[in-house]
Structure 1
Amino acid sequence: MNWIILILAGLMEVAFTFCLGKTKESTGTESYWWWGGFIAALTLSMYLMARASRTIPLGTVYPVWTGIGAVGAVIVGILFFNEPATFRRIFFITTLIVSIIGLKMS
Structure 2
Amino acid sequence: MNKEWLKVYIAAFFEVFWVIGLKHADDFWTWSGTVISIVVSFYLMIAAGRNLPVGTVYAIFVGMGTAGTVISEILFFGEAFKLSKILLIVILLAGVVGLKLVTKDKVQEGDES
Shared fold (TM-score greater than 0.5)? Answer: yes
Match of 1:4 in 2: 6
Alpha-carbon offset, residue 59 of structure 1:
1.1
How far apart are the structure 1 equivalents of 2:20 and 2:57? 22
RMSD, matched Cα: 1.0
Identity across the alignment (%): 35
Counting helix residues as a fraction of each chain, which structure ranks higher? 1
CA distance in 2, matches of 1:99, 1:85: 22
**Larger gyration radius, structure 1 or structure 2:** 2
Alignment of 1:1-106 (within 5 A): 1-23=3-25, 26=26, 31-106=27-102
For CA contacts below 8 A with separation 6 or more, give which structure has more relative contact order: 1
Higher mean C-alpha displacement, 84-93 vs 13-22: 13-22
TM-score (norm 1): 0.89
TM-score (structure 2 length as normaliser): 0.84
Whole-Å separation in 1 of the counterparts to 2:75 and 2:24: 13
Q: Does structure 2 conserve the Cα–Cα contact (< 8 Å) formed by 1:20 and 1:34?
A: no
For structure 1, the residue ranges without an aligned partner over 5 or more in a row are: none
Cα distance in 2 for residues equivalent to 1:49 and 1:105: 18
2: CA distance between counterparts of 1:80 and 1:19?
13
What is the one-letter code of the residue matched to 1:62?
Y
